[in-house]
């Protein structure tokens, strides 16, 4: 029995020893397998090429953009003065009112003007009466002299003819005086000269208004009327860009105070002369404003497209490295090479290429500092903003 027990114990120890060796052997095999896989992975990473964002050299219509600040002003604007002195009897408009051409806006009261007109009418009537008598006398004397040549003295006939002509001239002078006073009386009615908006009112009922008859007169105007249905937009263009603009060209206008609203306008006129002080030439756009959405005095930005380059070779601006005289090109062998280029105009996101590249070639974009000429890369065309693939 004892012998059997010892044999069983020895048997167990042998079995456990064999199992331990098996476990050690298995662990060693797993560790060797993992190490081999890691080495294989490292070799795979060493063989992968870095990915580079590229853009194709394309042909596009390019232009240089110039922005110029400007200010809207009425197409026509006038301050209305009275032609005769008088008191304001009635004001029918205030600032902000829309008026039509010929609409009555104010009335002046000039009592003495009515008296002068009545007197002139009376003078005209007296002149007509004098002419009637003088003409009748001359007509009768002429008839008698024709029938009996020696009966009427020639002196009397000449005096009658002169009196007839003098009274006729007096009628003409009296009529002119009446017409003048009627015209002055009409000046007491202040009417709108054109369709527009009353942009200011200077006088109230009862105010004494002096006649504005001379250019240096200090007379107070009654109202200011502006034609805001059509606006002018004047803008100065640098002498360097004048050559690219002409009357009839379409121009884009941006109004920031209306949320950046864009308006298209046509150049209607220019001064045709460069100002010697500012070295600019003034151009003007007429902007229709039927709904009065724009107001005189609003600021705007005129956007000009100058130096047009139709169907030009173009590359993104971020493709140009250094001082702008070289780019990195990926050749058909997927190798990077530095290429000197000659550039033309610059737009917000493109450069014009004059020499050094061909249509369809691939240029690196962004700032690939980790890539060097001679290195091989995989390419991915950039379709979004710089840095996005």
Residue pair 142/163 in contact (Cβ under 8 Å)? The answer is: no
In a domain, residue 140? The reply is yes
Q: Tell me if 164 is assigned to some domain.
A: yes
Domain assignment present for residue 116? The answer is: yes
Same domain, residue pair 256 and 289? yes
By DSSP bridging, strand 51-56 and strand 378-381 are parallel
- Spell out the per-residue pLDDT of the chain, length 389, in tens: 333 333 334 333 443 333 332 333 334 433 333 333 333 334 334 457 788 889 999 999 998 889 999 999 999 999 999 989 999 999 999 999 999 999 999 999 998 998 999 999 999 999 999 999 999 999 988 898 888 888 888 888 889 899 999 999 999 999 999 999 999 999 999 999 999 999 999 999 999 998 887 655 578 899 999 999 999 999 999 998 999 899 999 999 999 999 999 999 899 999 999 999 999 999 999 999 999 999 999 999 999 988 888 999 999 988 887 666 889 999 999 999 999 999 998 888 899 999 999 999 999 987 677 788 888 888 888 765 444 44
pLDDT at 13: 41
How far is 61 from 58, CA to CA, in rounded Å? Answer: 10
How far is the C-alpha of 141 from the C-alpha of 152, rounded, in Å?
A: 7
Q: Are 221 and 108 in contact (CB under 8 A)?
A: no
Q: What SS3 class is residue 212? A: coil
Give the CATH number, domain containing residue 282: 2.40.30.170
Length of the chain: 389
- Considering the domain architecture, whether residues 168 and 247 belong to the same structural domain is answered as no
CA 331 to CA 299: how far, in whole Å? 50
pLDDT in the model for residue 323: 66
**Tokens read off for 285:** 């756009």
CB 161 within 8 A of CB 192: no
Crossing angle for the helix pair 111-147 and 154-186, to the nearest 10 degrees: 160
Q: Domain boundary at 263, 285, 307, which?
A: 307
Q: Range of 316's domain?
A: 51-62+310-381
Same domain, 173 and 109: yes
Chain center to CA of 72: 8
């Amino acid at each position: 029995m004892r012998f059997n027990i010892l044999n069983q114990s020895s048997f167990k120890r042998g079995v456990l020893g064999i199992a331990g060796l098996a476990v050690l052997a298995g662990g060693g095999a797993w560790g060797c397998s993992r190490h081999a896989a890691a080495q294989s992975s490292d070799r795979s990473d060493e063989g992968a090429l870095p990915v580079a964002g590229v853009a194709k050299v394309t042909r596009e219509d390019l232009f240089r953009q110039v922005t110029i600040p400007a200010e809207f002003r009425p197409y026509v604007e006038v301050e209305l003065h009275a032609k005769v002195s008088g008191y304001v009897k009635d004001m029918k408009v205030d600032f902000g009112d829309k008026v039509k051409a010929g609409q009555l806006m104010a009335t002046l009261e000039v009592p003495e003007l009515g008296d002068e007109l009545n007197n002139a009418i009376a003078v005209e009537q007296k002149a007509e009466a004098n002419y009637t008598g003088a003409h009748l006398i001359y007509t009768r004397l002429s008839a008698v002299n024709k029938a009996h040549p020696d009966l009427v003295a020639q002196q009397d006939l000449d005096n009658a003819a002169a009196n007839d002509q003098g009274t006729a001239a007096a009628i003409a002078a009296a009529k002119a005086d009446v017409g003048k006073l009627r015209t002055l009386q009409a000046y007491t009615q202040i009417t709108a000269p054109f369709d527009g908006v009353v942009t200011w009112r200077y006088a109230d009922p009862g105010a004494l208004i002096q006649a504005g008859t001379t250019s240096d007169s200090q007379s107070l105007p009654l109202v200011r009327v502006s034609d805001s249905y059509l606006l002018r937009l004047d803008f100065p263009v640098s002498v360097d860009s004048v050559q690219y603009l002409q009357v009839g060209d379409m121009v884009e206008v941006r109004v920031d105070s209306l949320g950046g609203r864009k308006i298209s306008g046509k150049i209607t006129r220019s001064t045709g002369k460069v100002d010697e002080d500012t070295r600019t030439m003034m151009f003007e756009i007429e902007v229709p404003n039927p709904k009065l959405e724009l107001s005189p005095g609003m600021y705007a930005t005129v956007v000009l497209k100058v130096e047009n380059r139709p169907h030009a070779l173009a590359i993104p601006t971020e493709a140009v490295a250094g001082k702008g005289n070289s780019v990195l090109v990926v050749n058909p062998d997927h190798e990077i090479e530095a290429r000197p280029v000659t550039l033309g105009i610059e737009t917000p996101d493109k450069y014009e290429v004059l020499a050094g590249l061909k249509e369809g070639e691939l240029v690196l974009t962004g700032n690939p500092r980790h890539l060097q000429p001679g290195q091989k890369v995989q390419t991915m065309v950039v379709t979004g903003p710089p840095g996005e693939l």
